[in-house]
Amino acid sequence: MTIAVPLGYRLAGVHCGIKKNPAKPDLALVVSDPPAAAAGAYTQNLVFGAPVGWDRKLTPCGGIRAVVVNSGVSNACTGERGDRDAAEMARLAAATVGGEAKQALVMSTGVIGTFLPLDKIALGVQAAFAALGQDGDSLVAAARGMMTTDTRHKLAGRSLLVRGKSIRVCGMAKGAAMIGPNMATMLCLVLTDAALSPAAAQEMLSGAVDETFNCIAVEGHMSTSDTVLFLANGAASAEQPAGDDLAALRRAVLETCTELAIAIPDDGEGVSHLVTIDVKGCRTRQEARQIAKTVAESALVKTAIAGADPNWGRIVSAAGYAGVPLDAGKISLKLNGFPLYQRGAPVTFDAPAVSQSIRGNRQTSIELWFGEGDAQCRFWTTDLTAEYVRLNADYTT
Amino acid sequence: MTIAVPLGYRLAGVHCGIKKNPAKPDLALVVSDPPAAAAGAYTQNLVFGAPVGWDRKLTPCGGIRAVVVNSGVSNACTGERGDRDAAEMARLAAATVGGEAKQALVMSTGVIGTFLPLDKIALGVQAAFAALGQDGDSLVAAARGMMTTDTRHKLAGRSLLVRGKSIRVCGMAKGAAMIGPNMATMLCLVLTDAALSPAAAQEMLSGAVDETFNCIAVEGHMSTSDTVLFLANGAASAEQPAGDDLAALRRAVLETCTELAIAIPDDGEGVSHLVTIDVKGCRTRQEARQIAKTVAESALVKTAIAGADPNWGRIVSAAGYAGVPLDAGKISLKLNGFPLYQRGAPVTFDAPAVSQSIRGNRQTSIELWFGEGDAQCRFWTTDLTAEYVRLNADYTT
């Protein structure tokens, strides 16, 4: 699928020397020629990287001209010097287009506790500025500049017609999924050439993140650096969409985020199954998500799926300790469509057939019903394989 | 170490045919000749086994004459039939000593969603009753009767003098640690020949469990069946200890529980490190435990230790998402005594030396300070190895 770069944006990805391999880009620069409205969603970790602190103070806001991202060093757990370095990185990016530091947002991912090599980043920003483009190659280069241990770059996009004008949404993400430098940081940048106020952009982004990036789990270890940024520069149309048009744009942003979010657990080395968990019949969406997250983070559930073992007791019991009030006698469960547990009692089932359906498919479906209400949540996770452990057991030394 | 069986108790462990291997006991019976005060502590999982429901309704109470335990089938997720089966198992055990069902407590561990084979259990209770003894062999046989995938039985005990009379405390536990039938259920039975009221026994047990069994984690998956029972039958002295004597008994129970609790993570196949996490300088013990538990359950922390990787960013960042308010600028960390992070900033350290200290010792020590107050918590966990995943990926099929 060809993904169109929204109007008014120019992008580049270059190697500036943070990563050892010169074939791997480690810096991405995105410039918006019209000043853009910007929104952000960030890690809830109280130990957060300096770039998160910088962006969180600024967004939602207008007037953003540049986003700069580096991979290899996360600038987290770096104290006050880290804060100064993040500000300097923003200043360098904004200066390329004659802007002030506060007109640039920054993202960093990589090793924790190491200071940013600002000399390399300064040269990298210059090189990236010289390389800026609006074609597909520039988009891919920028997406590759934010990668750490991702095996492939992650891009998604949608186009839609609003009052006869074509509007584009495109997003890039990095997610190290099962393995990652320290903790599988997730970064994402979504761009649109629609016009939105900062508040409207923030509301649209928060809604999309709630259903996508907040509904994926790999090992449940919350990063210091998770960041999703959303820019809307109005280059395609200065008029803010409203009503059905706004809903269509919202859907395009949601679909873009959904594709990118699923791509993260799907990309872990060591992952042999992408698991979709549908929790239904809850009182509230928040409760449904809490149950889904608890099942998604159970090492016993994840190892069972890696082994194609229809061990439904692990799934039902994980739901039971999610901290959500429930009646154990009303729980039902399907695995890959096979009913295994109904209204609190076991069902006789063909275990070899269920096992074969897990073994034979990369995707596994878990459906849970609670009979408490109408709220539901879809969540994505991975299995847990011995390869995951091997990859994560020796990262920094 | 020789562990004395407290006076007034008789024990046995036998094979009744639930496990396939006839050399492995699968049923334990403990009889108290004087009716005993009994206390219990149970899983908080809302999906809990029928035996948990039976015991929870009865304890704290007096008049207990028997405890019967089976391994191989957990009688969890078995609906109303499971409740009837647990009551029948209690009736069978109590009947051996001429008591009523409510004078017996029951524990079951093993596969979820399978009904108890009551015919086998009835014969097993009879055989165990015929084999009851008060010697060390009987104690070991009972401890082995509750094992599932444990590689060794777990016993601990203390003796103390109270007003010139010898008082004994002894405990047995099973904990499948890293691997287990479905979810690593933990069962424990502590016996003393001191006299205690049901309320005093419950208070003493709850205090000990809070510092021991509630401070261990393997993979954070809460079992349907976790149970700790405590019996006090007064066979050594009919007088209830008070003051310093009560404190000495409390300490003996705590030490017994501590030994047994640590033995659980220490016994997992696939475990290469037993990890002690000391969280200090918190506002409350509850907050200290919440942080310790979050670090203990991080797959990224656990894989790093398996790989002897001093990846302190994973530890500090896990503390940051524990849900406890904290000032990231005040966090300090030592790993095996080496300072790695001080007051929110990285410390230069000899990474190969720290790595070697992890690789060369089965025990790993993590110490975290938060500078918020005087409360602390000690917690025990394991590393996460590829062997764990291999063992858990294919259990029921």
**A397 contacts in chain B (CB < 8 Å):** 307-310, 351-352, 355
Question: Do residues A254 and A339 both lie within one domain?
Answer: no
CB contact under 8 A, B221 and A310: no
pLDDT digits (tens, 9 = 90+) for B232-255: 999 999 999 999 999 999 999 999
Structure tokens of B379? Answer: 């917690």
pLDDT digits (tens, 9 = 90+) for B88-109: 999 999 999 999 999 999 999 9
User: What is the number of H-type helices and E-type strands within chain B?
Assistant: 11, 14
- For the cut 80, the answer to whether the pLDDT of residue B134 exceeds it is yes
Question: Do residues B262 and B279 both lie within one domain?
Answer: no
- From CA A87, how far away is CA A230, in angstroms rounded? 20
Q: Where are the beta strands (DSSP E) in chain B?
A: 9-14, 27-42, 61-73, 104-111, 154-162, 165-175, 186-192, 227-232, 274-282, 332-335, 338-342, 345-346, 363-369, 375-382
Instruction: Report the pLDDT value the prediction gives residue A180, as an integer from 0 to 100.
Output: 41
Alpha helices in B96-223 (DSSP H): 118-131, 136-145, 198-211
The pLDDT mean for chain A works out to 92
CB contact under 8 A, B308 and A220: no
Please, which pLDDT band fits residue B391 given cuts at 50, 70 and 90?
A: confident
User: B272 and chain A: CB distance < 8 Å anywhere?
Assistant: no
pLDDT digits (tens, 9 = 90+) for A272-315: 999 999 999 999 999 999 999 999 988 889 989 999 999 898 89
Question: Do residues A95 and A224 both lie within one domain?
Answer: yes
Q: Does a structural domain hold residue B4?
A: no
Q: Does a structural domain hold residue A397?
A: no
Instruction: Report the pLDDT value the prediction gives residue B138, as an integer from 0 to 100.
Output: 96
Q: Amino acid letter at B213?
A: F
User: Best of B300, B354, B368, B394 to disrupt the A interface by mutation (most A CBs within 10 Å)?
Assistant: B300
Question: Do residues A113 and A95 both lie within one domain?
Answer: yes
How far away is chain A from the Cα of B331, in angstroms, using its nearest Cα? 10
Active site residues of B: 185
Closest to A79 (Cβ–Cβ): which among B184, B319, B344?
B344
Q: Does a structural domain hold residue B321?
A: yes
Final residue in a domain of this structure, among B222, B250, B266 = B266
Please, which pLDDT band fits residue B4 given cuts at 50, 70 and 90?
A: very high
Is the peptide bond between B60 and the residue preceding it cis, with omega within 30 degrees of 0? yes
Name the residue among B302, B304, B295, B345 with its Cα closest to residue B323.
B295
Closest to B396 (Cβ–Cβ): which among A299, A309, A390?
A309
Residue with tokens 């891009």: A155
CB contact under 8 A, A314 and B221: yes
Final residue in a domain of this structure, among A221, A244, A266 = A266
**B217 contacts in chain A (CB < 8 Å):** none
The mean pLDDT of A317-337, rounded to a whole number, is 94
Helix or strand or coil: residue A169?
strand
Domain enclosing residue A78, as ranges: 9-266
Instruction: Report the pLDDT value the prediction gives residue B397, as an integer from 0 to 100.
Output: 47
- From CA B1, how far away is CA B263, in angstroms rounded? 15
Interface of A with B in 314-343 (CB under 8 A): 314, 316-321, 325-326, 328-329, 331, 341
User: A78 and chain B: CB distance < 8 Å anywhere?
Assistant: yes
Q: Does a structural domain hold residue B45?
A: yes
Question: Do residues B253 and B349 both lie within one domain?
Answer: no
The mean pLDDT of A8-35, rounded to a whole number, is 96
Cα distances (Å, whole numbers) of residue A276 to A365, A368, A377, B67: 5, 11, 10, 43
Tally the domains of chain B.
2
How far away is chain B from the Cα of A193, in angstroms, using its nearest Cα? 35
Q: Does a structural domain hold residue B300?
A: yes
Question: Do residues A97 and A175 both lie within one domain?
Answer: yes
Cα torsion through B17, B18, B21, B26, rounded to 10: -90
Question: Please, what's the b/e burial string for A336-353 (b: 16 or more CB within 10 A of its CB; e: otherwise)?
Answer: bebebbeebbbeeeeeee
Q: Does a structural domain hold residue A85?
A: yes
Structure tokens of A222? Answer: 């919350």
Interface of A with B in 57-76 (CB under 8 A): 76
Which is more confidently placed, B224 or B319?
B319
Instruction: Report the pLDDT value the prediction gives residue A1, as an integer from 0 to 100.
Output: 57
Instruction: Provide the percentage of residues in chain A whose pLDDT is more than 90.
Output: 80
Q: Where are the beta strands (DSSP E) in A196-331?
A: 227-232, 274-282
Instruction: Report the pLDDT value the prediction gives residue A325, as an integer from 0 to 100.
Output: 95
Please, which pLDDT band fits residue A394 given cuts at 50, 70 and 90?
A: low
- From CA B14, how far away is CA B131, in angstroms rounded? 8
Question: Do residues B241 and B201 both lie within one domain?
Answer: yes
Please, which pLDDT band fits residue A217 given cuts at 50, 70 and 90?
A: confident
Question: Do residues A293 and A252 both lie within one domain?
Answer: no
CB contact under 8 A, A317 and B396: no
Cα distances (Å, whole numbers) of residue B172 to A84, A211, B131, B140, B223: 57, 47, 18, 9, 18
Structure tokens of B231? Answer: 């019996």
Instruction: Report the pLDDT value the prediction gives residue A179, as an integer from 0 to 100.
Output: 45
Residue A123, judged by CB atoms within 10 A of its CB (0-12, 13-18, 19+), counts as middle
Asked whether the whole model's pTM tops 0.90, one would answer: no
pLDDT digits (tens, 9 = 90+) for A169-202: 999 999 865 444 344 578 999 999 999 999 999 9
Structure tokens of A170? Answer: 């495109």
Number of Cβ within 10 Å of residue B98's Cβ equals 8
Residue with tokens 């430098």: A181
Q: Which CATH number goes with the domain that contains B220?
A: 3.60.70.12
CB contact under 8 A, A320 and B222: yes
* Catalytic pick among A43, A185, A258, A381: A185
Region of poorest pLDDT, from A215-229, A309-323, A345-359, B264-278? A215-229
The mean pLDDT of A336-365, rounded to a whole number, is 94
Instruction: Report the pLDDT value the prediction gives residue B384, as an integer from 0 to 100.
Output: 87
Question: Do residues B241 and B289 both lie within one domain?
Answer: no
User: A112 and chain B: CB distance < 8 Å anywhere?
Assistant: yes
Question: Do residues A259 and A283 both lie within one domain?
Answer: no
Final residue in a domain of this structure, among B266, B300, B322 = B266
Cα distances (Å, whole numbers) of residue A245 to A7, A163, A212, A240, A258: 18, 8, 22, 9, 20
Structure tokens of A173? Answer: 């993400």
Which is more confidently placed, B186 or B355?
B355
CB contact under 8 A, A182 and B314: yes
Closest to B47 (Cβ–Cβ): which among A221, A316, A386?
A316
Instruction: Report the pLDDT value the prediction gives residue A243, as an integer from 0 to 100.
Output: 95
- For the cut 90, the answer to whether the pLDDT of residue A132 exceeds it is yes
How far away is chain A from the Cα of B171, in angstroms, using its nearest Cα? 27
Structure tokens of B304? Answer: 């790093």
Residue A121: phi and psi, rounded to 5, are -65, -40
Question: Do residues A43 and A89 both lie within one domain?
Answer: yes
Q: Where are the beta strands (DSSP E) in chain A?
A: 9-14, 27-42, 61-73, 104-111, 154-162, 165-175, 186-192, 227-232, 274-282, 332-335, 338-342, 345-346, 363-369, 375-382
Angle, in degrees to the nearest 10, between helices B299-306 and B312-320: 160
Interface of B with A in 132-171 (CB under 8 A): none
DSSP type of residue B240: P
Please, which pLDDT band fits residue B64 given cuts at 50, 70 and 90?
A: very high
User: How many residues are given for chain A?
Assistant: 397
Please, which pLDDT band fits residue A100 given cuts at 50, 70 and 90?
A: very high
Instruction: Report the pLDDT value the prediction gives residue A177, as an integer from 0 to 100.
Output: 56
Q: Does a structural domain hold residue B180?
A: yes
User: A221 and chain B: CB distance < 8 Å anywhere?
Assistant: yes
- Percentages of chain A per state (helix, strand, coil), in multiples of 5: 35, 30, 35
Q: Which CATH number goes with the domain that contains B278?
A: 3.10.20.340
Name the residue among A82, A232, A133, A198 with its Cα closest to residue A90.
A82
- From CA B362, how far away is CA A320, in angstroms rounded? 34
Q: Does a structural domain hold residue B301?
A: yes
CB contact under 8 A, A77 and B345: yes
Which is more confidently placed, A321 or B1?
A321
Question: Do residues A378 and A262 both lie within one domain?
Answer: no
